[in-house]
Amino acid sequence: MQITPSILNADFADLGAEVARIPSADWIHVDVMDNHFVPNLTFGPAMVEALARTTSVPLDAHLMIENADREAPAYVEAGCASVTFHVEATRAPVRLAREIRAKGARASMALKPATPIEPYEDMLAELDMVLLMTVEPGFGGQKFLDLVLPKIRRARSLMDKHGVETWLQVDGGVSLETIERCAEAGADVFVAGSAVYSAADPDAMVNALRDKAVSAADA
Ligand code: DX5
Ligand code: ZN
């Protein structure tokens, strides 16, 4: 059970300090947005590379960009240990996953809430992680979409069926209220943005979220 806080709602003028506030994080989730795939704009590889230099916590890049086939490898070069591309924005997901792995990072594929997992069953072994969005990508602070829960269960059973080690990440509206549902359904990596950065003690929130996920999965 891993918690990957998103810095999307942190103070962009002081990202190094914002990351230093959450030493208990398993990963730092960096949301890259290009104003085309999603209606919001954040930062690119130069900013990610600068952030990577400030922390020893590994970076988990979530690319919400149109030209993932061409752009994704730059995020491995920028120092990200995991790179997630959206299947809706990728022309050759198998080739891209192999390229990310060959460059030395974990390869991950994201699905928007309405994108089914079943067409990708046969490529699960090519992936180190699948990210199931539990909001429409683009903004932090949105309400968790319960309609994704059955897909989390189906994805987990496909992974079990194929005996793969692929992690199952959820992103969007994850909080103390919603994390148990995700863990019960089979998620094992949890992105939380506003839940962490709106907490009085963000690092304590990271640990509280992990504890809840662990006890829900054990139940
Ligand atoms: C949304 C991003 C998320 C976002 C999550 O498109 O991919 O990572 O930061 O924020 P919360 O946890 O506030 O929903
Ligand atoms: Zn994200």
pLDDT tens digits, 128-160: 999 999 999 999 999 999 999 999 999 999 999
- Average pLDDT score, the chain: 98
Question: Which ligand ends up closest to the CA of 192?
Answer: 1
CA of 170 to the centre of ligand 1 (A): 10
**Ligand 1 nearest atom to the CA of residue 174, by list position:** 12
Residue 108: pLDDT over 90: yes
Q: Which ligand is nearest to the CA of 112?
A: 1
Mean pLDDT of 68-74: 98
User: What's the predicted TM-score (pTM) here?
Assistant: 0.98
**pLDDT of the residue at 186:** 98
pLDDT at position 36, please?
Answer: 98
Model confidence at 90, in pLDDT bands (50, 70, 90)?
very high
How large a percentage of the chain has pLDDT more than 90? 99
The per-residue pLDDT for 121 is: 97
For a pocket test of ligand 1, which of 27, 43, 86, 135 has the largest count of ligand atoms closer than 8 A to its C-beta? Answer: 135
Q: Which of 22, 65, 142 to mutate to test the pocket of ligand 1 (most atoms within 8 A of CB)?
A: 142
| Res 44: pLDDT | 97
Taking CA atoms only, the protein residue closest to ligand 1 atom 10 is: 140
Domain 2-218 has CATH 3.40.50.1220: no
Structure tokens at 29: 């989730």
Q: What is the pLDDT of residue 46?
A: 98
Report the pLDDT value the prediction gives residue 219, as an integer from 0 to 100: 82
The pLDDT score that the predictor gives to residue 22 is 98
Atom from ligand 1 closest to the CA of residue 62: 7
Residue 93 above 90 pLDDT? yes
- Ligand 2 is a single-atom ion; what residues have CB below 5 A from it? 31, 62, 171
pLDDT over 90 (residue 175): yes
Positions annotated as catalytic residues are 31, 171
Contacts of 68 (CB under 8 A, 6+ apart): 85, 86, 89, 90, 96
pLDDT confidence bin for 68, thresholds 50/70/90: very high
Q: Ligand 1: which atom is nearest the Cα of residue 8?
A: 9
